């Protein structure tokens, strides 16, 4: 099943369980990473939590207005795809929450404005929320 945003509204709150059900996944585990790249789809979905659990990797992520400062995972998963998204026609979507164990707010599509790839450490990205 393709990941669709037709039933997802900007500014509304969603849990991973709710999104998994909407997108036809058997459980939320398919959406458990901070970066999700659904198979056979042209979308990249970011799940960003600013105040993380103490046991989680403490990436520094901060949303200021429509600008997201984000540290990518240390394995650099999907970074090249994000950098090429504008040229390839892929969409990057943002779900954000301030605190762990709360629902995410869907903020819409985002675009890479700046980046710095850092091998051996989290890369640093600046995204801007785009109007849909």
| pLDDT tens column, 22-48 | 999 999 999 999 999 998 899 999 999
- Which domains occur in the chain, in start order? 13-129 (2.30.280.10)
What is the pLDDT at residue 57? 86
Q: What is the pTM of this model?
A: 0.94
Give the DSSP letter of residue 128.
E
| pLDDT tens column, 48-90 | 999 999 988 899 999 999 999 999 998 999 999 999 999 999 9
Q: How far apart are CA 30 and CA 17, in angstroms?
A: 10
């Amino acid at each position: 099943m393709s990941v669709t945003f037709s039933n997802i509204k900007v500014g509304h709150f969603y849990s991973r369980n709710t999104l998994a059900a909407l997108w036809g996944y058997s459980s939320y585990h398919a959406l458990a990473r901070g970066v999700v790249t659904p198979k056979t789809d042209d979308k990249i979905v970011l799940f960003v939590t600013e105040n993380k659990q103490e046991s989680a990797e403490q990436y520094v992520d901060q949303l200021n207005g429509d600008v997201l400062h984000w540290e990518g995972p240390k394995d650099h998963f999907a970074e090249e795809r994000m950098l090429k998204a504008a040229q390839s026609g892929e969409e990057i979507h943002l779900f954000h929450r301030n605190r762990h164990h709360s629902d995410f707010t869907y903020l819409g599509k985002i675009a890479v404005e700046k980046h710095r790839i850092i091998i051996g450490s989290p890369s640093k990205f600046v995204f801007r929320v785009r109007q849909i």
